[in-house]
Amino acid sequence: MKFYQSADGAAYFEEKTPAMQIGTPPPYADGTFTEKQPLHLTKMHGLGNDYLYSYGAVEDPAGVSIRLSDRHRGVGADGLILILPSDIADFKMRIFNADGSEAKMCGNGIRCVGKYVYDKGYTDATTLTVETLSGIKTLTLSTMAGKVRAVRVEMGTAEVRPPLTLQAGGKTVVCTPVSVGNPHAVIFTPDADAVALERLGPLLEHHAAFPGGVNAEFVTVTGDNTLRMRVWERGSGVTMACGTGACASAAAAVAAGYCDADADIAVHLDGGVLTVRVQADGSVQMTGPAAMVCECEVPA
């Protein structure tokens, strides 16, 4: 399904998606645009964590992300992801949050990159490498009827630091700092669903303990190797899922003895379930779905 948005914000749907062949140059891949050349994007999501994707460069990607991520005046998304050539991997990924800031890594976003390049015919390989600002990640694609249904990502090593006790909004908060290529603060709580996420999230994101900002995860251990997690993402706010946050939460839970190493950990997010495995050496694998939403053409 194709989705078009005109300059005045009016929109209509058209049941048309052009076929793509391996090696076919993507639209506007050279990054040059004029007023007569609309910007072609694909909206995708991993467990409701949704981004707009461009195969090729985009002029002023931070500005485009801010403009189009608006859920009332734009297309609506948690940000913009560019899929680019790489000299050191099969593809390169750049991530821009809804506020225009650039992120180092996005677990849900990178799964969608795997689906994008396979489903659209830019590769026929089911094992891919993707260059990110947090290093090269390896993806293993699970396909059915010629389409990617799930993706496993080798996320690298999680660095779990000793817990910190902070003051935020008049409350004492104990968090476990974790790096999974980007920074996280994992807070274990008896009931993640009862947390005032929209109030505490921004206070933690901008806390003096995290000069560059941080993603905040509120996590409840609900069973054997089972977690419930809600997230405030740096630069985007409340999202339905965060892949790196799920990995950080699982790593913190293993370090605290709440979950087992070398076992599948089910992380239940607002958008669905991710499966995370934390090895004894700290390396992390994440597996979850990726889905297409629509094709978009918007004014450049």
Q: Which residues are catalytic?
A: 106, 242
The whole-angstrom separation of Cα 262 and Cα 216 is 25
Q: Cβ atoms within 10 A of the Cβ of 259, count?
A: 25
C-alpha 121, offset from chain centre:
22
User: In terms of Cα–Cα distance, which of 26, 25, 42 is closest to 81?
Assistant: 42
**Which residues make Cβ contacts (< 8 Å) with residue 281, sequence separation at least 6?**
157
17, 271, 281 from 241: Cα distances, Å: 28, 6, 26
77, 37 in Cβ contact below 8 A? no
Residues with Cβ within 8 Å of 296's Cβ and at least 6 positions away in sequence, in order, are: 2, 3, 4, 5, 40, 41, 42, 43, 52, 75
CA distance 228 to 5: 37
Distance CA 189, CA 116 (A): 36
Q: What are phi and psi of 253, to 5 degrees?
A: -65, -40
Chain-centre distance of CA 294, in angstroms?
Answer: 18
Tokens 């297309």 locate to 75
Q: How far is CA 114 from CA 60, 120, 153, 254, in A?
A: 24, 10, 10, 28
- Residue 166 token pair: 């902070």
